[in-house]
Amino acid sequence: MSLEESRRLVELLTKTHSTTSAAVDGIDLEMQIYPDSGWRIRDILGHVATWDRQVARSLLAFRNGEEYSIPDHSENAFNEQDILRQQAMTTQEVYSEWERSRDEFKETVEKIPPELYPGDVLYPWGDERGTIAHLVETMAEHDVEHRDEIVKAIQSGK
C-alpha cells in the first residue's frame, strides 16, 4: 500500500467523524434513538468509539506480527458489556472518548508500514479476515450507518 492509500483511509475516517460531529452538534446526546434497547445518541457514540478502539487493537497486533479479537467473538455480549461500562460515565466523558478513539484509530492507520499492506488482518470481531483498507472502509460505513440512524431520529423528533 502506498502512502497515498494510507492518507485516503485517514481522510475517510476524518470525514465520517466530522460529519457525525456536525450532525450531533447542539443536539441532546441523551436523546433516545432505539426504543427497544433504550440506546441514546451518547450510547451510539460510545459504541462507535469502542469499535474504533478494537480495530486499532487489531491493527496494532497485526503490525506486531500478532492477532487480536474480542473475547469469545460475541459482538452482542461485547456491545452490552461496553454499554454498561459507559453508563457509569458522564455524557461529556463518552463524547471525549469518542473523539479520542477516532484520533487513535487514525494514528494507528498512519503507523502501519507500507510493506504490511495489503496484509491479512484478523478483524476484531474474530470471524472475518481481510485487508487493512477493507477494515477501515467497513468501520467508516459503520459510522455512516449509525449517523444516518441518529439523523433520522432527530428529524422525526423522537
pLDDT score of 79: 82
Q: pLDDT of 78-124, one tens digit each?
A: 888 888 888 899 999 999 999 999 999 999 999 998 888 878 999 99
What's the rounded Cα separation, in Å, for the pair 153 and 158?
6
Q: How many residues does the chain have?
A: 158
Bond into 35 cis (ω within 30): no
pLDDT band at 1 (very low <50, low <70, confident <90, very high): low
3-state secondary structure of 33: strand
Number of domains the chain is built from: 1
> Which residues form the domain of 69?
3-156
Q: pLDDT of 14-25, one tens digit each?
A: 999 999 999 999
Q: Are 128 and 37 in contact (CB under 8 A)?
A: no
Kindly report the CATH number assigned to the domain that includes residue 22. 1.20.120.450
DSSP 66: -
Q: Give the angle subtended at the CA of 96 by the CAs of 90 and 102, to the nearest 5°.
A: 140
What's the rounded Cα separation, in Å, for the pair 127 and 29?
32
Q: Are 106 and 13 in contact (CB under 8 A)?
A: yes
